[in-house]
């Protein structure tokens, strides 16, 4: 079922309006109102579990399972530099990750399916989720509000710049990394730069800690385990000839196995304590577990892969490697069968990646996303209904 030109134009209009009017995580009030208005115009009933999300519910003409399709709504604190005629009207706020396109695709799916209720064997939830970019984000809030009760499967997707335009990326199993955040303060003894022997220099202490942390992956983990430990923030002192009293750093841990996360946390704590003890310093450490790894259900992912091949051709559907970036869609995938698909938008003429001030999507992939998931939803629900009617076939 190809997407007609009229619907394509409408989808593009939605994306451009949403791009012009971005909102940060947990602040998506206008976006929520706009989405709700569009769904209501389609005759789709809506509700909200957190006051920040919008969920549309469509019951088909036939009984069957309940599936969800999720799009994220939030933008980033970035000053846009695209020069687009529909660039952000909000200072220092920009849709620099494709969430405007994700919302437009889901609105397009909803609009398309609103004319095909006679073909729907079950119920479809259109989940417009807030705060994907935040930690903790919107997905865990929705899970805690029992969004997944009675939901049999979840579909998600990402317009993906690292993947060539027109390609669909598939990966079964752990597809995106889990992420933890840690920060720590070192307390030494400050003093004059000319008399370091009278001080406990926190800059030296924290430098040794950071250096030793780089051995965690190479020396504490099995070589088959993938993980990254990165320090992204470091502060120490404010004057060239003063040894400060404190130093501060924060960082992130990315992993695909929860046992790896636990091991790294133990090593981070042990390294900080050991180095501080050796220098006579003290410390405070905060370690926060973030989103878990995103796990693509094998059967559901294979189903979407087959649909993608049917629509775009086998040469356009590729297996991609696990991605070290994280995605709070993972909270759905740890509870019910879920699959997350990557829609390629990369092209040499526009090399700017996600979260870049010049990031932009190729709107040609918006109707492609609608076509893929409209077909996937209809066929998945129909096949599941047929299984229930003929359990021995």
Would you name the residues annotated as active-site residues? 74, 132
Q: How far apart are CA 324 and CA 253, in angstroms?
A: 10
How many secondary structure helices (H) and strands (E) does the chain include? Answer: 10, 16
Could you give the CA distance from residue 82 to residue 55 in angstroms, rounded to a whole number?
Answer: 31
**Which residues touch 153 (CB under 8 Å, ≥6 apart)?**
65, 67, 68, 297, 300, 336, 337, 338, 339, 380
Helical axes 99-113 vs 365-389, angle rounded to 10°: 50
Instruction: Please return the burial class of 53, using the count of CB atoms within 10 Å of its CB with bins 0-12, 13-18 and 19+.
Output: buried
Distance from first CA to last CA of the chain, Å, rounded? 27
Q: Cβ(58)–Cβ(68) under 8 Å?
A: no
Write out the H or E segment, with its range, that includes residue 57.
strand 54-59
């Amino acid at each position: 079922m190809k997407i007609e030109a009229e619907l394509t134009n409408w989808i593009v209009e939605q994306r451009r309006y949403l791009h012009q009017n971005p909102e940060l995580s947990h602040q998506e009030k206008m976006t929520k109102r706009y989405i709700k208005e569009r769904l209501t115009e389609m005759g789709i009933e809506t509700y909200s579990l957190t006051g920040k999300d919008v969920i549309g519910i469509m019951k088909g003409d036939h009984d069957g399972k309940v599936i969800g399709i999720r799009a994220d709504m939030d933008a980033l604190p970035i000053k846009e530099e695209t020069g687009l005629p529909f660039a952000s009207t909000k200072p220092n706020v920009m849709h620099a990750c494709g969430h405007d396109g994700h919302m437009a695709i889901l609105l397009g799916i909803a609009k398309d399916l609103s004319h095909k209720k006679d073909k729907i064997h079950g119920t479809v939830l259109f989940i417009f989720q807030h705060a994907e970019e935040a930690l903790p984000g919107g997905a865990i809030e929705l899970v805690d509000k029992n969004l997944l009760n009675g939901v049999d499967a979840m579909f998600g997707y990402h317009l993906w710049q690292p993947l060539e335009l027109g390609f669909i990326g598939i990966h079964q199993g752990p597809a995106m990394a889990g992420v933890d955040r840690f920060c720590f303060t070192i307390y030494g003894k400050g003093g004059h730069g000319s008399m370091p022997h009278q001080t406990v220099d926190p800059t030296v202490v924290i430098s040794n800690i950071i250096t030793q942390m780089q051995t965690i992956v190479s020396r504490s983990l099995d070589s088959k385990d993938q993980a990254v430990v990165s320090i992204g923030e470091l502060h120490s002192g404010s004057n060239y000839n003063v040894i400060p009293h404190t130093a501060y750093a924060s960082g992130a841990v990315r992993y695909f196995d929860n046992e790896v996360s636990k091991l790294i946390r133990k090593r981070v704590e042990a390294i900080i304590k050991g180095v501080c003890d050796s220098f006579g310093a003290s410390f405070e450490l905060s370690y926060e577990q973030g989103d878990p790894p995103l796990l693509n259900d094998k059967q559901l992912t294979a189903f979407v892969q087959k649909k993608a091949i049917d629509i775009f051709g086998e040469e356009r559907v590729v297996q991609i490697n696990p991605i070290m970036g994280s995605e709070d869609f993972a909270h759905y995938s740890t509870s019910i069968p879920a699959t997350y698909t990557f829609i390629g938008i990369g092209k040499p003429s526009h090399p700017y990646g996600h979260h870049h001030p010049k990031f932009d999507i190729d709107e040609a992939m918006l109707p492609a996303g609608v076509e893929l998931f409209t077909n996937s939803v209809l066929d998945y629900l129909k096949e599941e209904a047929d299984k229930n009617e003929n359990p021995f076939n």
